[in-house]
Amino acid sequence: EVQLVESGGGVVRPGGSLRLSCEASGFSFDDYGMTWVRQAPGKGLEWVTGINWDSTTTGYADSVKGRFTISRDNAKKSLYLQMNSLRAEDTAVYHCVRVRIAPGVPLDYWGQGTLVTVSS
Amino acid sequence: DIRMTQSPSSLSASVGDRVTITCRASQNINSYLNWYQQKPGKAPKLLIYDASNLLSGVPSRFSASGSGTDFTLTIDILQAEDFATYYCQQTYSSPQTFGQGTNLEI
């Protein structure tokens, strides 16, 4: 069974940093690209960043470019999101998501998410 | 960025009804369109990928079609467990973007 379990969320002050982790199990982690998708309270879904299987390609939403960094450790079957210079508008549930191997690269397995609250 | 617009934003229906949700892209996205279902307090679930491919395990009452800029998701014979929010997503170009969601309620 595919499982994605996020951790590392919490309350942080504006300008602060946080590192999210995602532990994967139930599939060959190093075969898949991975992404982070966030959802602000009561709002819709926003793609944040993605990374390919061997970390050679990454992409970021403009809203987080230069502040967030995605990385992965295939030996540990883990995905990370380093978030710096956090803003109130970064407050959201952050989901770790697997990218299906298909032409349209859909997001086929989602973790339950970890809540990040940026507040003074 | 490609803008995805869903209609309606909310929809009231009854068990047994047939409902259709539409998703329009601001530019051609070929068939790089996916549909997700999200229930309150839960993570989204992929239902349909590449515009019309039903994910294994998803009930056959769900179907979808479209290409280019206009797409539809249809649910035949609504069941109680289908009441949720539905999102479309384009993966044609980066950044991938989602529609604003359609809240399907009883």
What is the per-residue pLDDT across B77-99, written as a single tens digit (0 to 9) for each? 999 999 999 999 999 998 999 99
> For chains A and B, what is the number of CB pairs under 8 angstroms?
63
CA closest to B47 among chain A residues: A108
Q: With cut-offs at 50, 70 and 90, classify the pLDDT of residue A101.
A: confident
Mutate to test the interface with A, among B46, B52, B53, B67 (most CBs of A within 10 A): B46
**How many Å separate Cα B56 from the centre of its chain?**
16
Q: Who's near A65: CB < 8 A, 6+ residues apart?
A: none
Mean pLDDT of A40-50: 96
Give the pLDDT confidence of A67-86 residue by residue, as tens digits. Answer: 999 999 999 999 999 999 99
State whether B95 and A47 contact (CB < 8 Å). yes
State whether B33 and A104 contact (CB < 8 Å). yes
Mean pLDDT by 10 residues, chain B (106 residues): 97 96 97 96 96 95 97 96 96 95 94
Which of helix, strand or coil describes residue B80?
helix
Residue A103 pLDDT exceeds 90: no
